[in-house]
Amino acid sequence: MALPSMRSRSRARTHAAARPAADPAVPAAGRPRFEWIDAGKGACMVLVVLLHLSLMYENEVNEGAAALWWDVSSAFAPLRMPLFFFISGFLATRAVERPLGATRGRTLGIYSVYAIWTLLFLARLFVPQARGGGAAPTPGELALSLVLPTSYWYLWALPVFFLVAWACTRLLGERRAWALIPFAALAAAAPLLKPLTAGLLTEPMDAVKLSSIAANLVWFYAGVVGRDAWLSLMRRATPLTAALAVVAYAGVFVALRATGNGLVLTFAIAAVALLAGNQVLAVVGMQNPLARALRWVGRQTLPVYVFHIFLVSALSAGLKLTGLVPVLQQHTQVWGAILPIALLVPVVVASRIIGAAVLGSRLRWMLEGPRWLTASRTVAPADASRA
């Protein structure tokens, strides 16, 4: 029997947060699960949905100063995707050491999901009302939307980032962490790519997100190579260090706003945001109602990511078709503080439920990739010995 911890109560909690927890949904022989992973993924996904609901309101209703939840979303922007990609890389640490044939679900599988849902989402543009009087997509535009990252760019990024990490692991071996330097430089320069790619796809098509890809490769790769350092930081976390990290994040954010989004600060604030996320996830309890709700979302983020975009698009169309836009514009700031947050939980829960229904049906390949595409092509050790 283990002896009781002699550390302070707050420090003991951080050890529990950084330690894998038993998950009743995972077989005993399976790999243990960190509770903070689901909580972190769930928080990031909730912030993504809030961003898109806020964006819907700003585009369809607001004609003046940005409303409350748009500013809140802006404040969390440096954390939202970097933490999401870091956790994705963290979860791929062992997979990048396996042959590519054994990881087809992470490459071909996820890319096929990207292609399926990108085409289904773009299908709306063949309805004249949905494209605002613009031309229907051409075959070339549809093909370009599949080759380049657009609305579902996170799904496009995952297989690309995985292949980069896999190649660096093979080519650099124990020195693979050095690749963080050029990836960090790429992230710092990412804002410069946005104007260069702005004309590749224009409205009503969804814009190309290559600048977002460049900005986030470093965080996925940091998750792959920085697993031990990340867990070590979590084990050392205290409420004081968490508070100081949050204050540091707020300070860099204020400096960023004051200096007009300088390239160095834009990259630096994401690093500080990750540190703050690390410390906060380490010290907060994982058994309170909010943490449980975030973990519920975090266990199935892909369906929420896929379906919330359709739901937000439907809500946007509903605002216009029902004639509610002029009513909301009478009190723009008031409704801007109410509507996005009021719709947040219903959209997240509905997306999660729809995803569970799809995953429990014969259509699960639409969220996992076709079995013939994702099945491992490597020979199992037992089969190899018999051969």
pLDDT, tens digit, 9 for 90 and up, residues 10-48: 434 444 556 665 443 343 344 556 899 999 999 999 999
> Residues 268-285: what's their mean pLDDT?
94
Amino acid letter, 129: Q
Token pair 């050491």: residue: 97
The reported pLDDT for the residue numbered 22 is: 47
The mean of the pLDDT values for the chain is 87
Is 298 or 6 the better-scoring residue by pLDDT?
298
In this predicted structure, the answer to whether residue 98 has a pLDDT above a threshold of 90 is yes
The reported pLDDT for the residue numbered 19 is: 60
Helix, strand, coil shares of the chain, percent, nearest 5, are 75, 0, 25
Q: Taken in order 308, 74, 131, 341, is the CA torsion positive or negative? A: positive
Within 13 Å and on the Cβ side, how many CA atoms surround 359? Answer: 16
With beta carbons less than 8 A apart as the criterion, state whether 56 and 315 touch: yes
pLDDT in tens, 358-379: 999 999 999 999 998 888 766 5
Confidence of residue 261 (pLDDT cuts 50, 70, 90): low
With beta carbons less than 8 A apart as the criterion, state whether 118 and 152 touch: yes
Separation CA 373–CA 107 (nearest Å)? 10
CA distances from 195 to 143, 191, 199, 209, 221 (A): 21, 8, 8, 11, 25
In this predicted structure, the answer to whether residue 382 has a pLDDT above a threshold of 70 is no
Of these ranges, 15-19, 215-219, 319-323, the one predicted with the greatest mean pLDDT is 215-219
Separation CA 202–CA 200 (nearest Å)? 7
Residue 15, SS3? helix
Separation CA 288–CA 298 (nearest Å)? 15
Separation CA 233–CA 224 (nearest Å)? 16
> Residues 251-276: what's their mean pLDDT?
83
In this predicted structure, the answer to whether residue 140 has a pLDDT above a threshold of 60 is yes
The reported pLDDT for the residue numbered 192 is: 87
Instruction: Give the tokens for residue 45.
Output: 């996904």
In this predicted structure, the answer to whether residue 65 has a pLDDT above a threshold of 80 is yes
Burial 74-109 (b: 16+ CB within 10 A, else e): eebbbbbbbbbbbbbbbbbbebbeeebeebbbbbbb
* Phi and psi, residue 63, nearest 5°: -115, 0
The reported pLDDT for the residue numbered 194 is: 85
Task: Show Cβ contacts of residue 321 under 8 Å, excluding neighbours closer than 6 positions.
Answer: none
Q: Of 5-9, 131-135, 229-233, 353-357, give the lowest mean pLDDT range.
A: 5-9
pLDDT in tens, 159-187: 999 999 999 999 999 999 999 999 999 99
Q: What share of the chain has pLDDT > 70, as a percent?
A: 87
> Residues 281-307: what's their mean pLDDT?
94
Residue 33, SS3? strand
Separation CA 279–CA 128 (nearest Å)? 49
DSSP 317-356: HHHHHTTHHHHHHTTHHHHHHHHHHHHHHHHHHHHHHHHH
In this predicted structure, the answer to whether residue 53 has a pLDDT above a threshold of 60 is yes
Token pair 């898109």: residue: 52
Q: Taken in order 57, 63, 67, 70, is the CA torsion positive or negative? A: positive
> Residues 273-279: what's their mean pLDDT?
96
